[in-house]
Amino acid sequence: MHSKPNLGSRFVICFPQIDGSPAASSSLVPEADYLLGTETILLVEDQEVLKGLIARMLRKYGYAVLDAAQGGEALLLAEQHDGPIDLLLTDVVMPRMNGPELASRLTATYPKMAVLYMSGYSDDTIVHDVVLANPMHYIQKPFSSQKLANKVREVLAARDEHHLSTT
């Protein structure tokens, strides 16, 4: 660094020379391949803005997303959907029908469907019951898109391992 009063400063930065062309930057790759998926996810979230944000997060990772604002709408969407539903991603606390009730009804029809609960309430009794009963299948809001993608892959992998071991 060279500096003179009233004339400013000059900085010299030296970088090491690299032979060949630069490697592809990891920042240019949107996400790690292991986080990408093609499965169908039924997303149930009663807060419209949050539902849209989570749906965009999941689609960014390649998932097909069916989104509903509450349990009744989710049941109807599932009934109308032609094909498998691989994962139910549902809020735990919702009006009329909570997440565990919805999951119980849907898994009766889709026994291979995995369930991932989410909630922003950390002290709710329902949340504690779900978390204590199945801690691997819960994600605390708020979460980043990468944390969500990691959790979705983890839950789907556990589902696949379970179905392989029972066949």
Token pair recorded at residue 47: 């807060």
Where are the chain's structural domains?
Answer: 35-165
Nearest to 142 by CA among 64, 66, 50, 56: 50
On average, the pLDDT of the chain sits at 83
Among the four given CATH numbers 2.30.42.10, 3.90.226.10, 3.40.50.720, 3.40.50.2300, the one describing domain 35-165: 3.40.50.2300
Contact between 64 and 38 (Cβ < 8 Å): yes
pTM: 0.76
Res. 111: pLDDT tops 80: yes
**For residue 3, which amino acid is it?**
S
Nearest C-alpha neighbor of 118 from the set 49, 51, 34, 32: 51
